Homo-oligomer: A and B are copies of this chain.
Amino acid sequence: MGGDFGPRLIVQASIACLKATPSLHLILVGQPSLLEELVSGLSAVERTRLSIAAASEAIGMDERPAQALRSKPDSSMRVALELVRDGKAQACVSGGNTGALMALSRFVLKTLPGIDRPAMVAAIPTHCGFCQLLDLGANVDCTAEQLYQFAVMGAVAAQTLGIARPRIALLNVGTEQIKGNQQVRQAASLLSEARGLNYVGFVEGDGLYRSEADVVVCDGFVGNAVLKSSEGLASMIGERLQALFRSGLLARLAGVLALPLLRRLRAELAPARHNGASFLGLQGIVIKSHGSAGMQGFQSAIERALSEIRHNVPERLRGQLEDLLPRSPEPPGG
């Protein structure tokens, strides 16, 4: 029921995915009469792969997570997460309130053993390929141990994209060992000691886009600032390009020729708009579509969910955590 454009667009995106992926079954969660109306155009065959689960409440985009948790037991978000918890769905995809989705996910699904708090990760398009950037804002203050856990989670996320031995880096203000704050330096020593992780050291913000790592780890404050400023810069450049191509006759001609190219570029680059963000570290798959992502964005989020289902991300992560976490020797402050 959420997202900046409401359920209509989400249902359209869902139907498009259903048509494109014959193995996909979808459960739309929300107000049944509205949803029934929105899916009325589906063929009978397709309709067999789509069901509707009733939820009488919806969480607003500006609602406080704590309030959503306490006062809305029958929200569409919560019902969807309960379907995952109860094994009736393999993943939950939402375009709604991020904070509420995170709080409800932790409450309903619980974290995996060894994980303090789930992280939010997205695949950022880089010079050649993608980089899993995390955390994107779920955790503003992080200990070295949490950053270490994020590294493990990010590595599993990168593996679902086919990268067998993902290069893991910590985002820092320089690449020398002495740079950064205490948490980052301590996380670096934890990661250096961890067998089974391909830790490559520090990267700076520009290194992220130069594909210097497949996984870039930082606290949620930094990750959120990097992601959102990147989105802001990418849209500003897009607007400036459009304005340039309207700035004269020759420019207009160039613009006519360039427009399809620019559109392609735009779709490739808008960092997380294009891809869903994944909540990692939970006992279940939860994907957050960018609130303003539009239909294409929501389809991508469903595809990300499919990919995590195929790669069985929570179970794979559980296994990795069992292997890697006991070797994280230092207690906080130790």
Contacts and interface: CB of A to CB of B under 8 A. Distances in A.
B254 A229 contact: no
Given A127-B239, A221-B173, A253-B257, A204 B228 contact: yes
Interface in A204-263: 204-210, 218, 220-222, 224-237, 239-241, 244-245, 247, 250-251, 253-255, 257-258, 261-262
Contacts of A241: 265
Nearest to A230: B233
Question: Which secondary structure dominates chain A's binding surface?
Answer: helix
Contact of A173 (B176, B220, B251): B220
Interface string A119-131: 0000000110000
Contacts of A234: 233, 237
A182 to B, nearest CB: 8
Contacts of A207: 228, 232
Nearest to A171: B225
Contacts of A34: none
A245 B218 CA distance: 35
Nearest to A264: B244
Given A245-B258, A268-B240, A181 B140 contact: yes
Contact of A226 (B140, B229, B254, B262): B229
A137, A174, A233: which has the most chain B beta carbons within 10 Å?
Answer: A233
Nearest to A238: B237
- Tallying the copies of this chain within the complex gives 2
Contacts of A268: 240
A178 interface: yes
A113 interface: no
A180 interface: yes
B244 A265 contact: yes
A229 B206 contact: yes
Contact of A218 (B225, B236, B247, B269): B225
A229 B209 contact: yes
Given A232-B210, A235-B206, A244-B261, A226 B226 contact: yes
A257 to B, nearest CB: 3
Given A140-B181, A173-B221, A205-B228, 10 more contacts: A127-B236, A204-B224, A205-B229, A207-B228, A210-B232, A233-B233, A234-B237, A244-B265, A245-B261, A247-B261
**In the complex, the 10 A-B pairs of residues with the closest C-beta atoms, listed nearest first:** A205-B228, A205-B229, A206-B232, A254-B257, A209-B232, A173-B224, A254-B258, A244-B261, A206-B228, A209-B236
27 contacts: A64-B178, A127-B239, A137-B173, A140-B181, A141-B182, A173-B225, A180-B221, A204-B224, A205-B224, A205-B231, A206-B228, A206-B232, A207-B228, A208-B229, A209-B232, A209-B235, A210-B232, A221-B222, A222-B225, A225-B226, A226-B226, A233-B233, A244-B265, A247-B261, A251-B261, A257-B257, A258-B258
